[in-house]
Amino acid sequence: MIPELGNFALVLALLLALAQGTLPLAGAARGTQSWMNLARPAAQGQFVFVAIAFGCLTYSFVTNDFSVLYVASNSNSGLPLQYRVAGVWGGHEGSLLLWVLMLSLWTMAVSVFSRHLPDDIIARVLGVLGLVSVGFLCFMLFTSNPFDRLLPAAMDGRDLNPLLQDPGMVIHPPMLYMGYVGFSVAFAFAIAALLSGRLDATWARWSRPWTTAAWMFLTLGIALGSWWAYYELGWGGWWFWDPVENASFMPWLMGTALIHSLAVTEKRGAFKSWTVLLAIFAFALSLLGTFLVRSGVLTSVHAFATDPKRGIFILAFLVVVIGGSLTLFAWRANRVGLGGQFDVVSRESFLLTNNVLLAVAAGSVLLGTLYPLFLDALNLGKLSVGPPYFETVFVPLMAPALFLMGVGPMARWKQAHVPELATRFKWAFAVAVAGGLLLPLTMGTWTPMASFGLLLAVWIVASSLTTLASRLKQTPGSGIAKWRAQSRSYYGMLLAHMGVAVFVVGVTMVKSFEAEKDVKLAPGESVELGGYTFRFDALNDVKGPNYVAVRGTFAVTQGASAVGMMYPEKRMYHVQKNAMTEAAINTRFTRDLYVSLGEPVEAGDGKAWVVRVQVKPFVDWIWGGCVLMALGGLLAVLDKRYRLATRRQSAPLPASDARLTAAS
């Protein structure tokens, strides 16, 4: 009964989405007020019904209703409650439902927090969001319905993949989807601008907080996924350039370009067409990412082709969304215009260069991710593109971007002068060079890559602080008043850029100085690595709620002082019979120790194991940097001027403000 109710709620949501996706758009084109007014109630009603459907599926999971095919495939009566709830988005159908729930949540938020927007704009934005929702609801109802029944019902479920039975995996997909789906709002604003032909600083100010919010969630989602892979896959890798990861990284790169381009559009009225194009691509890559990960195309192109209904629907949907919006772009872009002029050396040109570098980076990831799939689909042979490709490409692409990140916020809009910039940054640059040359020595060895990475990180910090100091100096007032005069979005930018520096430190240190050893150890034996001694003390059997495990006890010492005890496990889950490596991690501010049990070795008393021990300097800075970036995004979203806009809708910014306020 409950699943049928959920199904019915989805059908009602589809009908409301159809209304939301057609009438307001037509109303905006014809100027019919009553049709435009439909957008808000339709959007809010749609949210209610999607939420009901989501509640119904959750209920089926919690009550172990194995007469629902999706529940039977992704849950089990022995599964702890929190993972039964997370199981809702453990597979393809439920992920789609989560996607639609997020979409209706964002749509609802737009409909609530947009009272100050003109009626025709809000009608168009909500209309486009409604159309996207129609596509997803149709896909779900016609090809991947999570409420399909399994008759006769299964005795018990096939269980959730043990890898997903982890707190990190409970929140990772919702975060990631908040980000993916959030770009649909930026996309809807871009399409609305094309339709109405109005794209000015005011438009950018409406669109910016939504885009930054989406980017913030995506940043957190990717960081969570990376962290999860690090501690849960058991072998200490934090980024594999796996297609699944690339799928989320591409929209992030585009989204990062987009928030910077939007800043220029807001402050200078420039980059208009480029901003619209980036919004379209960011959303297109989000769609592509969703489908790549959840459709099964990555596991096997051919298995995907044997279920052509889904594949054709996905391809058609992508073609309609991307093709349609690019056609609209080609037709209307000249009405939007290019925007203001600027010099070869100016903040605009620096931001444009960064944008192009980010777009090229996204393109290179796309090439490395899709090319093997294409060849395979056409039966032209099998090949893979590994981490070396991505690393070779990313270092030279990101290095100039990181350098410009320091210069950009100081450079003047429209026209900047190289000698003036050189004078202002000479100390920051000297500090960066000195830091880059000397800091690696604290780790004992000096390598060019470590030196280069640290140079860039120190440069970002030093140049950002230089810019902060010069802004404070230019601000009238004294002491704390100077600090308070800076906008929240400026502090947001500062924090996010610091986050990038922290991230760069993490990546550089791990890549340059990590140590790893695979050894055979019997209880009582010990191994030394990077100044730490790991003594294998004991081996015990332990019992979890739905698994049994072997647990090793390791005592770690550094010189004469004890560091701590570590307990890596090898688990065997009852239902899926998968062995799982549960690593033990000892975290300090500047390093992680990482111990994982490999496999037992048939020798002597049979108690020896192959053990992998690792020392990972500064690895947590990688995720720490991402958290700082996301916090920076949050600060920027909370900037006062987005709320001020409520009162003075399209008052132009005073010129002095435009010159002083930074691109955040």
Partner 1 sequence: MSTATPATLKPRHRRIILIVTGVAGLAIAAALVLSAFQQNLVFFFTPSQVAANEAPQGRAFRVGGMVEKGSVKRQPDGVTVHFVVTDSAKTMPVAYKGVLPDLFREGKGVVAQGRLENGLFVASEVLAKHDENYMPPEAAEAMKKGQAINEKAARSIVNSPSSK
* Residue 581 is a binding residue for partner 1 (CB under 8 A): yes
For 356-381, give the secondary structure using H, E and C: HHHHHHHHHHHHHHHHHHHHHHCCCC
- Cβ-based nearer residue to partner 1, 265 or 354: 354
* Residue 121 is a binding residue for partner 1 (CB under 8 A): no
- Kindly list the strands in the beta sheet with 591-600, ordered across the sheet, starting from the edge strand earlier in the chain: 515-521, 609-617, 591-600, 584-588
Decide: 585 and 597 in contact? Cβ < 8 Å: no
State whether residue 664 is helix, strand or coil.
coil
* Residue 364 is a binding residue for partner 1 (CB under 8 A): yes
594 sits in which H/E element: strand 591-600
- Cβ-based nearer residue to partner 1, 22 or 576: 576
Q: What pairs with residue 551 in β-bridges? A: 540, 569
* CA dist., res. 486 & res. 600, Å (int): 60
In the complex, the smallest distance separating the C-beta of residue 163 from partner 1, rounded to whole angstroms, is 6
In the complex, the smallest distance separating the C-beta of residue 382 from partner 1, rounded to whole angstroms, is 4
In the complex, the smallest distance separating the C-beta of residue 322 from partner 1, rounded to whole angstroms, is 22
The string of DSSP letters for 484-523 reads: HHS-HHHHHHHHHHHHHHHHHHHHHHHHHH-EEEEEEE-T
* CA dist., res. 560 & res. 533, Å (int): 10
State whether residue 598 is helix, strand or coil.
strand
In the complex, the smallest distance separating the C-beta of residue 599 from partner 1, rounded to whole angstroms, is 7
* Residue 236 is a binding residue for partner 1 (CB under 8 A): no
Q: What pairs with residue 420 in β-bridges? A: none
Q: Which one of 218-226, 248-256, 574-582, 635-643 is the stretch in contact with partner 1 (CB under 8 A)?
A: 574-582
* Residue 580 is a binding residue for partner 1 (CB under 8 A): yes
Residues 158-187 that bind partner 1 (CB under 8 A): 161, 163
From 154, 171, 393, 660, residue interacting with partner 1 (rule: CB under 8 A): 393
Q: Which one of 47-55, 107-115, 310-318, 597-605 is the stretch in contact with partner 1 (CB under 8 A)?
A: 597-605
* Residue 344 is a binding residue for partner 1 (CB under 8 A): yes
Nearest to 216, CA basis, from 184, 171, 255: 255
* CA dist., res. 10 & res. 27, Å (int): 25
- Cβ-based nearer residue to partner 1, 525 or 537: 525
* CA dist., res. 132 & res. 471, Å (int): 43
From 92, 612, 620, 662, residue interacting with partner 1 (rule: CB under 8 A): 612
In the complex, the smallest distance separating the C-beta of residue 355 from partner 1, rounded to whole angstroms, is 11
- Cβ-based nearer residue to partner 1, 327 or 423: 423
* Residue 520 is a binding residue for partner 1 (CB under 8 A): yes
Q: What pairs with residue 542 in β-bridges? A: 549
Interface with partner 1 (CB under 8 A), residue total: 52
* Residue 299 is a binding residue for partner 1 (CB under 8 A): yes
558 sits in which H/E element: strand 547-558
* Residue 567 is a binding residue for partner 1 (CB under 8 A): no
Residue 152, preceding bond cis, omega within 30 degrees?
yes
- Cβ-based nearer residue to partner 1, 83 or 187: 83
- Cβ-based nearer residue to partner 1, 381 or 479: 381
Which residues make up the interface to partner 1 (CB under 8 A)? 161, 163, 234-235, 299-300, 302, 341, 343-345, 349, 353, 356-357, 360, 363-364, 367-368, 371, 381-386, 388-389, 392-393, 396-397, 415, 518-520, 576-581, 596, 598-599, 601-603, 608, 610, 612
